[in-house]
Chain A
């Protein structure tokens, strides 16, 4: 029964951890300026330069209003590579021009400010930088940062900003990479007029992304590229697929170990009671009844083991649901694959049903062997067994 308990517990617990990791990766990836769907001018993904901009973003509104389900949100952004510098340091960043009010409900930035304030619509010189960048540049709130990039006429454009807010992100790389300014200011600096780099969309559920993306694709001119989050985050998608494979392998390993445990336990129980089975057969018990008896005993072990394993699994998940598992010390490594610093296990009904079904169905199947073994002995063989 220990094998069943450990098997069910580990399947539920590991499943919840994996689910937690993948959910956080998806949530984090989507929140980090990706969204569920993005619309760009064709070619922007391969070459995200200012030339590949959407000149008339408001022209997309009709299609967006028509195809986005109720509860969806969307915003436009300017996103260009830039050089940030202050008196002491200089480095490459991505300037993101945002519509502060709309952006707040779409990406992480609305809730990520830890010092100072969020951008206002009329912040002509305000900029938000990440904590890691501020540390790297040895700067702080109220200090100046100069951004330099290429404008639409391929001339160098630069503008001085004052830091109004510092944000924290799940990943240090995000804090170092992105700086946020108000979109009209970025457009003015880059001489873009009303043009934008991308439209980012958040749907009520990420599961609808592919379907909505197809609908948008069909209704927008071919000059636009509509991509769902799976295409926008290929690394995350790849890691999720790897996790699926890992969970499958884990289930397989657990099942093989548990299967041997069940067969071994049941077989031992059968051999210990072989004289008893011989006697029962001698008294008139049919082989099928003996198979039934052994299977019922295995069933009892399975059900009891599953009940205890489930309880342990739920308790383990519950115990970690508050503070999660803090992997901050491995943060640099985790960021590489898009994992968050703290893992919160997520228990889903389908995972629990899956784990229990695997254990139950395969457990019953492997119990057939000892049951058949018990039924095959002739009464004389069995009763002569010592």
Chain B
């Protein structure tokens, strides 16, 4: 069963007077519970693809279905609702809210979902423990290392049990040991909780971890294969 289905996705950006064709007709399906890496060089269109799947950006043409929802038919409010309940994001630059503690950052999405305070706190602590950040609940992002911040970001992405987690270059700012630990943790969550992970990356380590590797080049899927482990 596919959680993501993209058909003939095209997207162009205007850079000054020049139109840059980021995606030129991408077709992609991602199975539920997948651990998929969209790989390719800078400017190949992988981040654009990830943004379109997450409803952060809209394609110029083509259809995107996420967990049975046609994104093209949804307004901004419905897309926000989809992101809130079904999609988790992990960004390259962590993008934690600087004025909130690690615990509050993780709680934030549940706050938007209207989950009661006690349950929020309980679940946030549990997930922070799970990603190895027990005892660092009250630290602000500035008081955490890059790896720890990215773990908070992962905790925030999965705490509300989304159908899919989209991670944009999650290891780009981490050293290899920290990156390895983070990927190990995400792989474990994928296996234990059946959370679908989709990465955009050009990090070989992420590609090695992925069970399916989709190469995007010049806005098109150049190669798509499931690895045998």
Q: Write the residues of chain A forming the contact surface with B, with a CB cutoff of 8 angstroms.
A: 275-276, 279, 281-289, 378-380, 383
Of chain A, the residue at the smallest CB distance from B86 is A284
Measured between alpha carbons, how far is A131 from B108 in the docked complex, in Å? 79
Q: Does residue B56 face the partner (Cβ distance < 8 Å to A)?
A: yes
Contact of A283 among B51, B57, B58, B84 (CB under 8 A): B84
Establish whether residues B83 and A284, one from each chain, have CB atoms under 8 Å apart when the complex forms.
yes
A335 to chain B, nearest CB (A): 62
Closest A-B pairs by Cβ, 3 of them: A284-B84, A380-B57, A379-B56
Establish whether residues A284 and B80, one from each chain, have CB atoms under 8 Å apart when the complex forms.
yes
Measured between alpha carbons, how far is A285 from B108 in the docked complex, in Å? 10
Contacts of B83 in A (CB 8 A): 281-284
Contacts of A288 in B (CB 8 A): 77
Contact of B85 among A276, A282, A284 (CB under 8 A): A284
Apart from A283-B156, A379-B56, list 12 A-B contacts with CB within 8 A.
A276-B97, A279-B97, A282-B54, A283-B108, A284-B83, A284-B85, A285-B80, A285-B112, A286-B80, A287-B76, A287-B80, A378-B57
- Give the residues from 163 to 189 in chain B that come closer than 8 angstroms, CB to CB, to chain A: none
B50 to chain A, nearest CB (A): 10
Measured between alpha carbons, how far is A383 from B57 in the docked complex, in Å? 11
Q: Write the residues of chain B forming the contact surface with A, with a CB cutoff of 8 angstroms.
A: 51, 54, 56-58, 76-77, 80-81, 83-85, 89, 91, 95, 97, 108-109, 112-113, 156
Of chain B, the residue at the smallest CB distance from A381 is B57
Establish whether residues B56 and A282, one from each chain, have CB atoms under 8 Å apart when the complex forms.
yes
Contacts of A289 in B (CB 8 A): 112
Establish whether residues A281 and B80, one from each chain, have CB atoms under 8 Å apart when the complex forms.
yes
Main secondary structure of the interface of B (DSSP, over half): helix
28 contacts between A and B (CB under 8 A): A279-B95, A281-B83, A282-B83, A282-B95, A283-B84, A283-B89, A283-B109, A283-B112, A283-B156, A284-B84, A284-B85, A284-B112, A284-B113, A285-B84, A285-B112, A286-B76, A286-B77, A287-B77, A287-B80, A288-B77, A289-B112, A378-B56, A378-B57, A378-B58, A379-B57, A380-B56, A380-B57, A383-B91
Measured between alpha carbons, how far is A380 from B48 in the docked complex, in Å? 9
B181 to chain A, nearest CB (A): 24
Contacts of A379 in B (CB 8 A): 56-57
Contacts of A378 in B (CB 8 A): 56-58
Establish whether residues B95 and A284, one from each chain, have CB atoms under 8 Å apart when the complex forms.
no
Measured between alpha carbons, how far is A171 from B113 in the docked complex, in Å? 72
Contacts of A283 in B (CB 8 A): 83-84, 89, 108-109, 112, 156
Establish whether residues A284 and B109, one from each chain, have CB atoms under 8 Å apart when the complex forms.
yes
Measured between alpha carbons, how far is A286 from B76 in the docked complex, in Å? 7
Contacts of B84 in A (CB 8 A): 283-285
Measured between alpha carbons, how far is A43 from B32 in the docked complex, in Å? 101
Which has the most chain B C-beta neighbours within 10 Å: A276, A279, A283, A287? A283
Contacts of A281 in B (CB 8 A): 80, 83
A278 to chain B, nearest CB (A): 9
Contact of A284 among B51, B58, B81 (CB under 8 A): B81
A269 to chain B, nearest CB (A): 14
Measured between alpha carbons, how far is A379 from B168 in the docked complex, in Å? 14
Of chain B, the residue at the smallest CB distance from A283 is B109
A350 to chain B, nearest CB (A): 42
Measured between alpha carbons, how far is A286 from B85 in the docked complex, in Å? 12
Measured between alpha carbons, how far is A379 from B85 in the docked complex, in Å? 17
Of chain B, the residue at the smallest CB distance from A378 is B57
Given A279-B97, A380-B51, are A286 and B81 also a contact pair (CB < 8 Å)?
A: yes
Of chain A, the residue at the smallest CB distance from B162 is A284
Of chain A, the residue at the smallest CB distance from B57 is A380
Measured between alpha carbons, how far is A383 from B81 in the docked complex, in Å? 19
Measured between alpha carbons, how far is A380 from B13 in the docked complex, in Å? 12
Of chain B, the residue at the smallest CB distance from A290 is B80
Measured between alpha carbons, how far is A275 from B58 in the docked complex, in Å? 18
Contacts of B108 in A (CB 8 A): 283
B170 to chain A, nearest CB (A): 15
Contacts of A282 in B (CB 8 A): 54, 56, 83, 89, 95
A284 to chain B, nearest CB (A): 3
Contacts of B97 in A (CB 8 A): 276, 279
